[in-house]
């Protein structure tokens, strides 16, 4: 039963019961309308209470029905709400815990609303590229005022019931009920049972004294803030409609916006990302009820760039951390950086002083392996050198308690090899954080051949606790993200050789929506990192061609921002990238040495070559089973590499272009004598899907 019906004396109680959050799927909707009908027809019933069982009043639409005909099958949500509103007896929504999206729209259609304190109330549709579609934009401004409603609808963020209850003149909650919600709701229902006429939100006016000017200002503001997304501006249009149109007209207008937005690529991309994030936490052969190990103490080896950031994640989550280093100076430096980082947050008002002190109190340091043996998880973040890793893991194997998880933050080294340095490979796993590790959302979780299922399940669960988006990757050089970015960087280098400037390449891909182009990114991360990796590649894979421009740059000592010069020039202490005549001269000379006649390259070609380089490698990664699903690759790029969210990730973008067209573009690129024809051989999976008219996702 997805909604139950019970009589409490003369009050009928309809209880939504569709775990986990009482999503308004077909069965639940039908349960509500059946209940309303029964109550309407039973002369003994004087009032109706609608409430939710378990963890929510209702979280809104049932996401399991998204895109299926069931989502709109009658009674659809609009019909359910209409029926509640038109019931001749008072209908009281008894709200607790979570009341979001369609759940709030349903509550708004009830004659009265009572709520428990601490209820999270929101219309989050904008976050998946939509406007609320069941009257939320028309009813909410009528009960909490235009400005308050607009803020909630445009941001999609939850607001606590007691905050809303505190808005002067608000009509969202008729009563906040401390203690037993159902008992309070029943008492309230009996109080209002005889009152007529019944209040109806639709009869209220949504007014805003400043009118059109106010809405134009709001529209301009949201357009500037959400440049690539149409939904926020449409939310403004809908709320404006609530103030200028009759209720039914406004409702029709909202519906029209909802349906139009549903068809936009931006909405498709956001929905894709929404589901991709949920899918990423599921591992087919590791069931959700796999037992996990308790993680109450973490050790981190190395207090460098990554070790410090990694530690902060756990301190922020209230988990004690001990950092181990080789020298006291390294510890002092590392802890100093963490402290400064927290202090900056305190200064900006993002962190309270007492919280900062609490976090630092959870941190301890040591030079001695015997002090870390009792940690439940140890994460190694020492130099990227296999012999150093070997030394560290042998030590860890000797001192860590049985059952401790041994993780490595390596970016490129073989996790199976690292596991083999220990006598407990089942306890070894990769936890690949991204820099800055306390900020970046992505955590690539590297599953070694022998990694235990419980170890994997534990790390995936822990990732949620430290607010990371975890994506599982198999073992290969560079894992999902860096293996793909290498192909993208190679193309960026070829583009320079053929006629582009670094600035032109960066601008083109930034206009496509990337947070930062490859050359600005190189300057930020340090060009020496790639140089170091390429030197290894030249030995291991001599057949792989790279543009020499990046090596020439490093030979000039231009490692990026940290040396004050890279692909761009930098003024002392500043991060603004200034095009560099010296670099352009170097590139021109290199072209001349190679005998390449430069040509004008369009932005379309730049974007196509960079993005399809990612896609082709992504297809190989998928086919090899390194990634479990195409959407996992998209998640890696959305959360770790600044790929534009409104395009849904590289694989989703390729799907949107049509894989047939992607392959055609690759064939065109392969004809370019200065590019690498081999590079543009479509991956077998891509070729097959394109030929069959299928897509990755
Ligand atoms: P780093 O050079 O900033 O820090 C390494 C730290 O490890 C140094 O403080 C060093 O004193 C310490 N260390 C070295 N050998 C040690 C040993 N035997 N015992 C204890 N401490 C030791 O390096 P970074 O950038 O933090 O990188 C660390 C690891 O993280 C590497 O495996 C790297 O590939 C990986 N990584 C780096 C990223 C980055 O953007 N920097 C991103 C993701 C992973």
Taking the domain 298-473, which CATH number applies?
3.40.50.720
What spacing in Å lies between the alpha carbon of 409 and ligand 1's midpoint?
8
Count the residues in the chain. Answer: 697
pLDDT greater than 80 at residue 101: yes
- Residue 110 has phi, psi (to 5 degrees) of -75, 160
**Residue 391 alpha carbon, nearest atom of ligand 1:** 18
Q: Is residue 125 among the annotated active site residues?
A: yes
Task: Identify which of 62-66, 163-167, 603-607 has the greatest average pLDDT.
Answer: 603-607
Distance of CA 379 to the CA centre of its chain: 24
Q: Where in the chain is the domain with CATH 1.10.1040.50?
A: 481-691
Q: Express each pLDDT in 451-467 by its tens digit.
A: 999 999 999 999 999 99
Mean pLDDT of 649-675: 95
pLDDT greater than 80 at residue 364: yes
Mean pLDDT of 647-661: 97
- Report the sign of the C-alpha dihedral through residues 138, 140, 142, 146, in that order: negative
Reply yes or no on domain 3-262 having CATH 3.90.1150.10: no
Mean pLDDT of 676-692: 95
Other CB atoms closer than 10 Å to residue 459's CB: what's the count? 25
Instruction: Choose the residue to mutate in 328, 383, 399, 418 for probing ligand 1, maximizing ligand atoms within 8 Å of C-beta.
Output: 383
- Starting at the earlier edge strand, list the strands of the sheet with 112-115: 3-8, 11-16, 47-52, 91-95, 112-115, 175-176
Q: Express each pLDDT in 153-171 by its tens digit.
A: 999 999 999 999 999 888 8
Q: What ipTM was predicted for this assembly?
A: 0.98
Q: Is residue 105 among the annotated active site residues?
A: yes
User: Which CATH number is 481-691's, of 2.102.10.10, 1.10.1040.50, 1.20.210.10, 1.10.3210.10?
Assistant: 1.10.1040.50
Q: Which helix (H) or strand (E) holds 38?
A: helix 26-41
Q: In the prediction, which pLDDT does 1 show?
A: 67
Helices (H), 382-526: 386-399, 415-420, 453-465, 479-498, 502-512, 518-525
What spacing in Å lies between the alpha carbon of 447 and ligand 1's midpoint?
21
Closest residue CA from atom 44 of ligand 1: 411
The two three-digit tokens of residue 279, written as one number: 């899918």
> What pLDDT band is residue 553 in, cutting at 50, 70 and 90?
very high
Q: Express each pLDDT in 404-417 by its tens digit.
A: 999 999 998 999 99
Higher pLDDT: 45 or 544? It is 45
Mean pLDDT of 275-284: 95
Q: Express each pLDDT in 376-424 by its tens digit.
A: 999 999 998 999 999 999 999 999 999 999 999 999 899 999 999 999 9
Bridge partners of 434, per DSSP, are none
With tokens 């349906």, the residue in question is: 259
Percent of all residues in the chain with a pLDDT value above 90, rounded to a whole number: 91
The residue from 105, 325, 486, 605 that is catalytic is: 105
Mean pLDDT of 215-241: 95
Task: Identify which of 537-546, 595-604, 669-678 has the greatest average pLDDT.
Answer: 595-604
CB 264 within 8 A of CB 131: no
Mean pLDDT, the chain, whole residue set: 96
Bridge partners of 430, per DSSP, are 408, 446
- Local structure of 658: helix, strand or coil: coil
From residue 327, how far is each of 25, 368, 595, 695 by CA, in Å? 59, 10, 51, 53
Instruction: Choose the residue to mutate in 308, 313, 380, 382 for probing ligand 1, maximizing ligand atoms within 8 Å of C-beta.
Output: 382
Cα separation, 521 vs 515, in Å, equals 9
Q: Where in the chain is the domain with CATH 3.90.226.10?
A: 3-262
């Amino acid at each position: 039963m997805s909604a139950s019906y019970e009589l409490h004396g003369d009050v009928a109680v309809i209880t939504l019961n569709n775990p986990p959050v009482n999503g308004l799927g077909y069965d639940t909707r039908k349960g509500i309308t059946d209940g309303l009908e029964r109550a309407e027809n039973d002369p003994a019933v004087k009032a109706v209470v609608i409430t939710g069982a378990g963890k929510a009043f209702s979280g809104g639409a049932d996401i399991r029905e998204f895109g299926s005909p069931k989502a709109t099958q009658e009674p659809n949500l609009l019909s359910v709400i209409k029926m509640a509103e038109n019931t001749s007896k008072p209908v009281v929504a008894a709200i607790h815990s979570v009341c979001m999206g369609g759940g709030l729209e349903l509550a708004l259609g009830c004659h009265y609303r009572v709520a428990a304190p601490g209820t999270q109330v929101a219309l989050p549709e904008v976050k998946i590229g939509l406007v609320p579609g069941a009257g939320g934009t028309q009813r909410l401004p009528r009960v909490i005022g235009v400005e308050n409603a607009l803020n909630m609808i445009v941001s999609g963020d939850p607001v606590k019931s007691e905050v809303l209850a505190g808005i002067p003149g608000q009509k969202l909650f008729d009563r906040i009920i401390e203690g037993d919600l159902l008992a309070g709701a029943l008492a309230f229902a009996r109080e209002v049972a005889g009152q007529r006429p019944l209040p109806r939100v639709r009869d209220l006016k949504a007014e805003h004294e400043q009118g059109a000017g106010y809405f134009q200002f709001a529209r301009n503001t949201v357009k500037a803030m959400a440049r690539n997304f149409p939904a926020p501006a449409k939310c403004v249009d809908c709320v404006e409609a609530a103030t200028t149109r009759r209720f039914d007209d406004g409702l029709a207008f909202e519906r029209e916006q909802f349906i139009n937005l549903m068809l936009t690529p931006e909405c498709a991309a956001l929905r894709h990302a929404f589901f991709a994030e949920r899918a990423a936490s599921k591992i087919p052969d590791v069931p959700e009820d796999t037992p996990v190990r308790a993680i109450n103490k973490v050790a981190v080896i190395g207090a460098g760039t990554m070790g410090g950031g990694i530690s902060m994640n756990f301190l922020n989550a209230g988990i004690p951390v001990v950092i181990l280093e080789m020298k006291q100076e390294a510890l002092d430096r590392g802890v100093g950086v963490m402290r400064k980082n927290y202090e900056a947050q305190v200064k900006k008002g993002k962190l309270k002083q007492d919280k900062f002190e609490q976090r630092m109190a959870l941190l301890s340091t040591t030079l001695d392996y015997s002090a870390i043996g009792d940690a439940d998880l140890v994460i190694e973040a020492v130099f990227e050198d296999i012999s150093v890793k070997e030394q560290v893991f042998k030590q860890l194997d000797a001192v860590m308690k049985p059952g401790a998880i041994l993780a490595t933050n390596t970016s490129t080294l073989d996790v199976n090899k690292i596991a083999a340095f220990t006598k407990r490979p089942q306890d070894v796993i990769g936890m690949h954080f991204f820099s800055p590790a306390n900020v970046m959302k992505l955590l690539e979780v590297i599953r070694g051949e022998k990694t235990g299922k419980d170890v994997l399940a534990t790390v995936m669960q822990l990732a949620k606790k430290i607010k990371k988006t975890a994506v599982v990757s198999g073992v290969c050089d560079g894992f999902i993200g860096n293996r793909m970015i290498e192909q993208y960087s190679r193309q960026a280098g070829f583009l320079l050789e053929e006629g582009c400037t670094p600035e032109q390449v960066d601008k083109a891909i930034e206009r496509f929506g990337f947070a930062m182009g490859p050359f600005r990114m190189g300057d930020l991360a340090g060009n020496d990192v790639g140089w170091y990796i390429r030197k290894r590649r030249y030995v291991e894979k001599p057949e792989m061609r790279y543009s020499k421009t990046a090596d020439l740059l490093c030979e000039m000592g231009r490692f990026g921002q940290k040396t004050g010069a890279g692909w761009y020039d930098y003024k002392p202490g500043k991060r603004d990238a200034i095009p560099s005549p010296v670099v352009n001269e170097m590139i021109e000379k290199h072209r001349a040495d190679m005998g390449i006649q430069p040509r004008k390259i369009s932005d379309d070609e730049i974007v196509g070559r960079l993005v399809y380089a990612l896609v082709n490698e992504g297809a190989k990664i998928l086919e090899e089973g390194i990634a479990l699903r195409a959407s996992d690759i998209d998640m890696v790029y959305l959360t770790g590499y600044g790929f534009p969210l409104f395009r849904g990730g590289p694989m989703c973008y390729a799907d949107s272009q049509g894989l047939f067209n992607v392959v055609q573009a690759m064939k065109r690129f392969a004809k370019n004598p200065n590019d690498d024809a081999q590079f543009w051989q479509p991956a077998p999976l891509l070729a097959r899907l394109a030929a069959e008219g299928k897509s990755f996702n």
